[in-house]
Amino acid sequence: MSYPGYPPTGYPPFPGYPPAGQESSFPPSVPPGHGFGVPPGGAGFSGYPQPPSQSYGGGPAQVPLPGGFPGGQMPSQYPGGQPTYPSQISTESFPSYPVFSPVSLDYSSEPAAMTQGTQGTIRPAANFDAMRDAEILRKAMKGFGTDEQAIVDVVANRSNDQRQKIKAAFKTSYGKDLIKDLKSELSGNMEELILALFMPPTYYDAWSLRKAMQGAGTQERVLIEILCTRTNQEIREIVRCYQSEFGRDLEKDIRSDTSGHFERLLVSMCQGNRDENQSVNHQMAQEDAQRLYQAGEGRLGTDESCFNMILATRSFPQLRATMEAYSRMANRDLLSSVSREFSGYVESGLKTILQCALNRPAFFAERLYYAMKGAGTDDSTLVRIVVTRSEIDLVQIKQMFTQMYQKTLGTMIAGDTSGDYRRLLLAIVGQ
């Protein structure tokens, strides 16, 4: 399970950040064929070509093209675009890219796809009529048997916001709770997928965290996946929602369910206090890289609190510049140093933060792949990623998936799932 080809990032991967000016810390003139783990020849991550201007946009991002791929090229799926990636980089470039498990999600307060140069596969339906949709769903569930296809057609072609309106219209028209009705008609993975699609994004996050800590054992991967990847605003909304919906304090639950350095990292994350200033301070990147080296590779043992402080407080663009400075200085990339210095869940958490800073869509593509690879399918992860990214960057995730694994996401889902569950997943992924 090694990391064959973590491809380059070609789009601004940070929904919800204010627009940047020029972020030119990564020389675009890096030769292809060098990988992570190869001592870099002075330049940043060799083989990780960087666009000269990065937009971490919350406002209208300064992206020159509708596809939002700085540098003037677009992937081949775009009309008139040229294939950006294969010509620039060989997929064997990253032989030693460390394997990690958790995944990152991102909802933005505004549709991130509008400002990010990334795109979801689900768009709000035109001529939307909540009452009419409620009626279609009612008919689909009335009488003997359930018309699943009718449910799939409505649910897969409406935005989350529209689904909330359908829920309200259903109650207004029929005096019944749509979710309860759906639950009684559906079961298994199909039920989980439909319920996820009807939850507002913040609530779905809070609910997933609660579920991960309920009962015996804790699903640490889910905690990492959500807490290590959100913007400050999202985290604060999740904390509020967790309190109002479940009457519980998220930080207290985390403290009682985790321990040690992992607990500290998650408690840091749920403060929602990461610096979100978009401009990069290169002097600080240099100093942070030095400090991380001295806290890990440059000493016996590890000063964990130094890693926690830098990775929990610096902005994503700043962390990228730090990773670049680190690989120049240490002749090893920061991800592999984290692998050497840490283990277990705290290692996964720290790597999640760094990997989000590098290339979000590739990161999700990899999570989806490992959710389906081998015997059995991790359906909860599959559902969570497909649903949460469906209105943000699932288009880019699909492109990355094809590039990294030489097959489409749809093909892999089709081979791993069945029935209405498969039909609905494929309708969302947009095969």
The whole-number pLDDT of residue 230 equals: 85
* Confidence category of residue 360, pLDDT binned at 50, 70, 90: confident
pTM more than 0.85: no
Q: Report residue 97: phi and psi, to 5°.
A: -60, 125
The whole-number pLDDT of residue 94 equals: 38
DSSP-derived letter for residue 373 is: S
290-316 pLDDT tens trace: 999 999 999 999 999 999 999 999 999
**Secondary structure of residue 3 in the 3-state scheme:** strand
pLDDT higher than threshold 90 for residue 212: yes
**H-state helical runs in 89-231:** 112-116, 130-141, 148-155, 160-174, 178-185, 188-198, 201-213, 220-227
The whole-number pLDDT of residue 10 equals: 45
* Confidence category of residue 87, pLDDT binned at 50, 70, 90: very low
Which candidate, 186, 144, 160, 102, places its Cα nearest to that of 389? Answer: 160
pLDDT higher than threshold 90 for residue 106: no
The answer to whether 218 and 212 have CB atoms below 8 angstroms apart is yes
Please report where in the chains the tokens 């990161």 appear, as a residue.
Answer: 363
- Helices 344-358 and 360-372: crossing angle in degrees, nearest 10, is 130
Q: Report residue 3: phi and psi, to 5°.
A: -110, 80
Q: Which residues contact 173 (CB under 8 A, 6 or more apart)?
A: 131, 134, 135, 138
pLDDT higher than threshold 90 for residue 98: no
Distance CA 264, CA 305 (A): 9
* Ordered structural domains, the chain, with CATH: 118-186 (1.10.220.10), 282-358 (1.10.220.10), 360-429 (1.10.220.10)
269-297 pLDDT tens trace: 999 999 999 999 999 999 999 999 999 99
The whole-number pLDDT of residue 336 equals: 95
The answer to whether 72 and 65 have CB atoms below 8 angstroms apart is yes
Structure tokens at 332: 């090893």
DSSP output for 231-288: -HHHHHHHHHHHHHHHS--HHHHHHHH--HHHHHHHHHHTT-------S--HHHHHHH
* Confidence category of residue 92, pLDDT binned at 50, 70, 90: very low
Distance CA 76, CA 146 (A): 40
Distance CA 261, CA 3 (A): 26
The whole-number pLDDT of residue 368 equals: 94
Structure tokens at 275: 């610096």
The answer to whether 36 and 331 have CB atoms below 8 angstroms apart is no
Distance CA 399, CA 409 (A): 9
35-76 pLDDT tens trace: 444 344 443 343 333 433 344 434 444 434 444 444 444 444
* Confidence category of residue 144, pLDDT binned at 50, 70, 90: confident
Q: Report residue 311: phi and psi, to 5°.
A: -75, -20
Residue 106: which H helix or E strand, with range? Answer: none
The whole-number pLDDT of residue 6 equals: 53
Stretch 157-170: mean pLDDT, rounded?
A: 98
What average pLDDT does the structure give for the chain? Answer: 80
* Confidence category of residue 320, pLDDT binned at 50, 70, 90: very high
108-132 pLDDT tens trace: 334 444 445 679 999 999 999 999 9
Distance CA 268, CA 75 (A): 37
Stretch 220-228: mean pLDDT, rounded?
A: 92
